[in-house]
A and B are shown apart, each in its own frame.
Chain A
Amino acid sequence: MTEQQDKISFLLDEFSGDEQSRAVLDEIEGDVNLQYNMRRYQMIGQVMRHELPRHVNIDFTADVMAHINQIENPAMTDNSRVDIANRQSIWTWAVMKPFAGMAIAVSVAMISITLWQSSSVNSNSEPTSDQIVSIDQQKIDRLVSQSVQANAVVVSSSLHNGMRWKIDNNAPALQQKLNAYLVNHTEYSNSMQGLIPQARVAGFDAQN
């Protein structure tokens, strides 16, 4: 494990608010790469803790428009600002602004991992012990939410090329489609074949 990973791991697993924790927090605050990495760790952590939302909102334009209204409305009260910030923090707009017009215009389905994350935070999953909020937790949340810059990705209906099917015309699109069918078949049929179905899924790309 690298020193960077050690620091992230420490912050996520052992953060207690003491001097050492605060020093690590300050260091992460000054290092954008550490922030990004922590973001990824948190996402996977959420997967493993069952905290991902059941459904991803791929139409983020409504959220963007809400931010436009929020920022352009000077009469907004402090309370309402806090409320909206809880739903989705200001950084999203700050980062998405250059892309928002184009995205709205062409209706491209885009999400960011951070949108995923923010809706996850609002999900109704039961809090776990590591979700207990301290004063510095807010600081952590702010740090995490700043890392959206590199996270916007286009949602694609294609899986990465995976296991190779025997096809005369080795079309990648057909390979991907059959792989996707296999994943769904594995998930929706109670197969009799022990661990083999899981191994097949994990075996994607092995034959490249």
Chain B
Amino acid sequence: MYKAAMLAKDLVAASSKPLVLSILADGESYGYEIIQKVRELSGGHIEWSDGMLYPVLHRLEREGLIDSEWKEADTGRERKYYFISAAGRKVLKTERQQWLTVHNTLGKLWKIKPVTI
């Protein structure tokens, strides 16, 4: 049975931005939850090291694409929640178009049905 391989390091790094922005576009989240979501959605094929996520989140925050806020969770422990900014939504739209362009180009080559934007 075919088993998808783990993603190459470069591809993991390149996809981190659209992945984080897409997750946050659905609602605010925190580091641990984002990693769990990526692991779950990719079926375990995209494996982020936990420590690697935070530099990415902080970079996106410096770029003004996401914002953050410390809030008390249900457990009583404080967590830093991230949420997407208006600028982040715009960048996500562009990223989405670019990734779908790549996807559709490869799709044509591999005879896969194209995805509309």
- A is bound by B: no
